[in-house]
Amino acid sequence: MTDPIETSARATAHVAELELRAVLDAAVDAVVVIDAAGRIETFSHAAERLFGYSASEVIGQNVTVLMPEPFRSQHDGYLAHHIRSGERRIIGKGREVVAQRRDGTLFPVFLSVGRIASVDPPRFVGLISDITDRKRAVEALRRERDRAQAYLDLAQVMLLALDENGTISLVNRKGGEILGWPEDELVGRNWFTTCLPPELRGDVQAIFRRFFDGAATPDQYAEHEVVTRSGERKLIAWRNVVLRDERGLVIGTLSSGEDVTDQRRRMEALRKSEQLLRDAQSIANLGNFETRLPDGPSYWSRQMHVILGTEPEAGPLSWADYAARCVHPGDRDRVVAAWSRLTSDEQPLDAEYRIVRPDGSIRFVHSIARLGRDAESRVQAAGTLHDITERKNAQEEIRQTQERITQFARLSTMGEMAAGLAHEINQPLTAIATFAQALRRLLATPGAADPEDVELALSQISAQALRAGEVIRRLRSFVKHREAHTELIEPRRLIAELMTFAEPDARLNDIQVRVEAAEDLPLVACDPVQIQQVLLNLIRNAIDATNEASPAGREIRMRMRRDEDGAVEISVEDRGPGISDEVAQHLGNPFYTTKPTGTGLGIAISRSILRAHGGRLAHRPTPGGGATVFFTLPAMPGSDK
């Protein structure tokens, strides 16, 4: 007779087994049950589909048949260690492992292992899910993330995302470099308190809040400073957009920031440099230009327009228009020829000429130009235009003043020599009076007038009148105000004409003047009156010095010779006290004189005259005592005798 309790228990166990089988068959994940030796006891339908084995093929086999190396050789040892020690490495924990199908292919799975309680020996159940698709999706997501990160890191601008609280949610590598922070240390920090200067935080944060209130939209472009981790300030140029959720609400901002600190510094330095150049050109009244050749566009600086009186808005003129409209007609051919030599023969242009401004005023300019190449290697002429009108006017005033001073010096020299000149003129006048009286007596006595005596008297009167007239003519020629002019002249002639003025003054002071001239002297190009003025100054000084000497030394020598450089040297020697070191130190300074009634202009003017002639004035001791003052004049090439 069957025991009802046993029958009921068997029925219950059978139902439980059927329920377990139904669960195993319905499970999506593979279910594998193994004994304490690792042999497979249960292999679900999902396991059959996953591994490619039928249950009958694997039940009773070691579960390592489902594993690749090195897990296969390690599994039994791990299982025995767990049963012996109770230490858990996998059991009760889920982990990703690699499984092996019947055909040998490997695939990733997520394995969860549990120990069946209250059975001895122990048994274990494993749940296995294929995570191939998930791994692929994760890998694809990782690749997309890495690609996006690469894009962020490759960007040469800062990329910055802020949430509605101003917290940094994203920053790229460039942003970290600019700010001096590792990216991971910036994320989660408040942007405003971390990276903005204190004086800007309030204003920038107020603008930021308005984006979320809908009161404003981000400007397309803005600039403001940030503070790096080291405290350095950098100027950042920002471009901003707002981030919205699926409802269209603003949830943050995304900004790109370019470090323009060095760029702005360079721009500011360039601006200052350009301003300095403009100021310098304005102060110097100097403009510059560039013209692409042969007929390309031109560039004129603003000062070019100021000099020429043209409007900058009208732009620069071509060279042809400039020559036709701006260059004075009297100078145009010369300037056009110089430009032609520049463009065709590459001869630098360096010319002074006149320009005519639109209002009819005439200005003097000095232009310098050279050929070169622009950034694209195209030939261009670059040069400057300098307004030298004031300099020309000043030079003319100086020239006129110099002429007046020179005229004054000549008159002063003649004043000093007036007694000798008066004596020189009185001699022929006295002779004229004497012969006239004798002739009158002859004519008053009947029959006493011999025609030969009358002819002789008249001849003497005529000769003496001519002599006096010649002295006066030369005196007038010497002292009258005249324009300087240069002529080729033989040096001996300078001395011969000069003696008319020098000898009377010397004789009056009981001084002999001796002249020694070399025979082979070349011609010199000079203004004879100006050079004679120099000589008279030197002779007058020598006479004054000689008056201080003993009677035995009352002689002046004028010598003419060629020096070692081939120039003509004219010297005046005296036997006076010589030139002291103190006098030599100041010699030639205007208004310095040792004479009680002197002006101090003689040597200064003489030196100026000689400098204009390309000569020089100097002095040396006279052998045996006294001073020799000499000057040189360049010899004319090819004029040697």
Distances in Å between the alpha carbon of 189 and those of 161, 165, 235, 521? 12, 10, 21, 98
Q: Which CATH superfamily is domain 266-387 in?
A: PAS domain (3.30.450.20)
Token duo for residue 251 = 């949830």
Q: What is the pLDDT of residue 391?
A: 83
Q: How far apart are CA 39 and CA 37, in angstroms?
A: 6
Q: How many residues does the chain have?
A: 641
- Of the candidate CATH numbers 1.10.10.10, 3.30.70.330, 3.30.450.20, 3.30.40.10, the domain formed by 139-259 belongs to 3.30.450.20
SS3 374: coil
Average pLDDT, rounded, for the chain = 79
Q: How far apart are CA 355 and CA 504, in angstroms?
A: 53
Token duo for residue 49 = 């589909």
360: which residues sit within 8 A by CB, 6+ positions away? none
SS3 132: helix
Report the range of poorest mean pLDDT among 82-86, 501-505, 510-514: 501-505
- Report the percentage of the chain scoring pLDDT > 70: 73
Q: Could you confirm whether domain 4-130 is CATH 3.40.190.10?
A: no
Q: State the virtual CA torsion across 98, 100, 106, 112 in degrees, nearest 10.
A: -30
Q: How far apart are CA 525 and CA 488, in angstroms?
A: 5
312: DSSP letter: G
Q: How far apart are CA 69 and CA 75, in angstroms?
A: 10
Q: How much of the chain is in helix, strand and coil states, percent to nearest 5?
A: 50, 25, 30
Work out the number of other CB atoms within 10 angstroms of the CB of residue 378. Answer: 11
pLDDT at 584 over 70: no
Q: How far apart are CA 435 and CA 432, in angstroms?
A: 5
Specify whether the backbone of 364 is left (phi greater than 0), alpha (psi in -120 to 50) or beta: beta
31-44, pLDDT tens digit by residue? 999 998 889 998 99
Q: What is the pLDDT of residue 592?
A: 47
264-277, pLDDT tens digit by residue? 888 887 777 777 76
Among 471, 469, 552, 537, which residue's Cα sits nearest to residue 504?
471
**Same-fold call for 4-130 versus 414-633:** no
Q: State the virtual CA torsion across 399, 402, 404, 407 in degrees, nearest 10.
A: -120
126-139, pLDDT tens digit by residue? 889 998 888 887 77
311-336, pLDDT tens digit by residue? 988 888 888 889 899 999 999 999 99
| Amino acid present at 437 | Q
CATH of domain 414-633: 3.30.565.10
Q: Is 112 exposed, middle or buried (0-12, 13-18, 19+ CB in 10 A)?
A: middle
In the chain, what are the domain boundaries?
Answer: 4-130, 139-259, 266-387, 414-633
- Report the percentage of the chain scoring pLDDT > 90: 19
The bridge status of strand 568-573 relative to strand 555-562 is: antiparallel
